[in-house]
Structure 1
């Protein structure tokens, strides 16, 4: 029997094969074989069990594909498990169309009750991947409420829940996932359970927490951004900016009735569809609406003309995730946002408003979808960031200020 000794050199691989023979004095023979450094490294980097797995599969079915019976069994089993997980992750109607659950804690407040509000008595809970939470971060920033309404940023857990832990994202501002700075809880579910009488429903972000009463004040994103926009005017924050002026409320409501079901929730209806029919309906509605929006934004800087409104904020948080996330993992594949010149310029226009870019953490956004939504991406592999979503690309001139007839250099005044 022969034993082998492997000597690895960056440019030369030596195999010394020694014959063992107690009755022989023959010197060991040395064979030299030239192997490229790349091949040597590839051989080293093979998974430790790859040889064993390869041997087992070849023993079972040789070098061909697995037998049809095994493929059919695995496929049927996985499809059943997938449907089970999807029903838990994304409730659907009988047709397989995703039905978003209604927020449990709606606004039951009015602006007058905040006339003597003290900074820090309300606390905002968000997560960076979530477009609904992203709305609240943008309005909070534009209205100058960062110090008045502190924030705790959750990270997605492996089971899809929201957790509070230190993370690896290194940024120059405070909008990074971390610990719960108010209640010291490990996850969002624990905070919801602090609610009087307890609570065991869905624990979602964004969530506005009443620090003094120790209860959930609101977990509906649109209610929260309306409160941030006008609820603290004259008390704290930037009273000069109104993202929902009375003269435009009718238009804003009309746009919301279009954008929410067909775009904001439309991408989720594509990604969470549990039947081909449900997907086809959702994807066609999504892209016909994007076509319409692209046409509308040709001559109009924002949805309601020359004024940035809450509707623009709501549309932006979906658009900014479209190419890096929804186009891929949610199968919104008819077009990339980059192929809509007006929509893409509009998205860059809002991104370049002071303080908005700081709310966009693309690393956290992509991890929150590709690494956590196991039923949609079982391998957990995060694709490369599209070049059009890099900071340099999003910061290129958009020239949309030329659409403002009154002032070609309209600025959103932020504190």
Structure 2
């Protein structure tokens, strides 16, 4: 398999802190020279429903109506039992993605760069004809979908990244990424008590701040769902079923925060959010599958029975904060 490292890459520094690897394929989508062209049917988005980074791109793809424009390939929640970190298409017939005809996501990474040595990650946008990864920049991918892909949006698609508040969205996204999205991983993959406790405190301090913010605002930037809400949702919806126990992020569950819990229910009950969320897959992955930066034995391969997430469908009454039934800004 080319130059892919055979051992699990430990993205941990000398102090025991987890430092996520940088994205390798970051060429932007756009209409300028050197950018990836916007073209219906050219790309396939690879994901696994367990991954928060990939999930948010799938949510935006659905909300904006890009499902007929960008196809979707789904990897198994269980990482393959091979001597490297990878994703496998074991859910598909013949254990191969039916469009790209590959068994492992690493194959399209090596097609793009035979010397690639990092972890093959999702989401990954793949050029279907060449079977090569062209972009795995999870931090910016939703923004590309929201902006330069707009000519291919469905009719009356919502505005998730309004120009008037992009600076505020970008600033909050940066905080959410470092302290919440990646914050839970910093707890789970810490290799020293000091690093773990520092990450734990940062995570819950930020959740406390977000709880206050959502006391008077239906969504993070007011009355309508934006890109920031998609990013926060992807972590919150995995919190009680995975991060709380598996990553030792156990000061509180999201259900213990009145505003965050109501906000999460509001988003989950929105088309594109709950219908792309697979709690069983999430639990299987985080409790049974092997992880990056982890050599720990899982708990005797026992899948936790709880929590009961059916309560996520209970009324939230968050519309009272906005005075509106609609959740999206449509111009």
Find 1:162's aligned residue among 79, 82, 87: 87
CA deviations 1:98-152 (Å, max 9, x no partner) are 1111111113332568998442111100011111010111000101111111111
Q: Is 1:209 equivalent to 2:126 in the alignment?
A: yes
What CA distance in whole angstroms lies between the structure 2 residues aligned with 1:239 and 1:179? 36
Query: 1:206 Cα shift?
Result: 0.6
Query: 1:238 Cα shift?
Result: 4.6
Contact 2:224–2:327 (CA<8 Å) still a contact in 1? no
Query: 1:231 Cα shift?
Result: 2.1
TM score, norm. by length of structure 1: 0.71
Count of aligned pairs: 314
Query: 1:283 Cα shift?
Result: 0.4
Contact 1:90–1:99 (CA<8 Å) still a contact in 2? no
Which residue of structure 2 lines up, in the alignment, with residue 411 of structure 1?
327
Which residue of structure 2 lines up, in the alignment, with residue 358 of structure 1?
275
Structure 1 pair 116–321 and aligned structure 2 pair: CA distance change class (3 A):
closer
Q: Is 1:110 equivalent to 2:30 in the alignment?
A: yes
TM score, norm. by length of structure 2: 0.88
What CA distance in whole angstroms lies between the structure 2 residues aligned with 1:358 and 1:195? 32
Query: 1:326 Cα shift?
Result: 0.3
Structure 1 pair 240–115 and aligned structure 2 pair: CA distance change class (3 A):
farther
Query: 1:363 Cα shift?
Result: 0.9
Structure 1 pair 370–140 and aligned structure 2 pair: CA distance change class (3 A):
same
What CA distance in whole angstroms lies between the structure 1 residues aligned with 2:161 and 2:154? 16
Q: Is 1:397 equivalent to 2:315 in the alignment?
A: yes
Which residue of structure 2 lines up, in the alignment, with residue 383 of structure 1?
304
Query: 1:194 Cα shift?
Result: 1.4
Which residue of structure 1 lines up, in the alignment, with residue 216 of structure 2?
299
Which residue of structure 2 lines up, in the alignment, with residue 95 of structure 1?
15
Contact 1:111–1:232 (CA<8 Å) still a contact in 2? no
Gaps of 5+ in 2: 1-6
Which residue of structure 1 lines up, in the alignment, with residue 4 of structure 2?
none
Contact 2:88–2:104 (CA<8 Å) still a contact in 1? yes
Q: Which has the higher contact order (CA 8 A, sep 6+)?
A: 2
Aligned-CA RMSD value? 2.3
Give SS of 1:350's match.
helix
Q: Is 1:121 equivalent to 2:42 in the alignment?
A: yes
Query: 1:167 Cα shift?
Result: 6.9
CA deviations 1:348-389 (Å, max 9, x no partner) are 1111111321110111111111111361625221101312x2
Structure 1 pair 116–202 and aligned structure 2 pair: CA distance change class (3 A):
closer
Find 2:69's aligned residue among 148, 167, 175: 148
What CA distance in whole angstroms lies between the structure 2 residues aligned with 1:336 and 1:235? 39
Query: 1:412 Cα shift?
Result: 3.0
Q: Is 1:332 equivalent to 2:255 in the alignment?
A: no
Structure 1 pair 293–361 and aligned structure 2 pair: CA distance change class (3 A):
same
Contact 2:180–2:235 (CA<8 Å) still a contact in 1? yes
What CA distance in whole angstroms lies between the structure 1 residues aligned with 2:302 and 2:92? 19
Structure 1 pair 219–264 and aligned structure 2 pair: CA distance change class (3 A):
same
Contact 1:105–1:220 (CA<8 Å) still a contact in 2? yes
Give SS of 1:194's match.
helix
Which residue of structure 2 lines up, in the alignment, with residue 189 of structure 1?
106
What CA distance in whole angstroms lies between the structure 2 residues aligned with 1:212 and 1:188? 16
Contact 2:60–2:272 (CA<8 Å) still a contact in 1? no
Query: 1:236 Cα shift?
Result: 4.1
What CA distance in whole angstroms lies between the structure 2 residues aligned with 1:184 and 1:198? 21
CA deviations 1:254-295 (Å, max 9, x no partner) are 211211111100000100010000011000111111111001
Give SS of 1:234's match.
helix
What CA distance in whole angstroms lies between the structure 1 residues aligned with 2:51 and 2:296? 18
Give SS of 1:139's match.
helix
Q: Which has the larger radius of gyration?
A: 1
Contact 1:351–1:394 (CA<8 Å) still a contact in 2? yes
Query: 1:398 Cα shift?
Result: 0.8
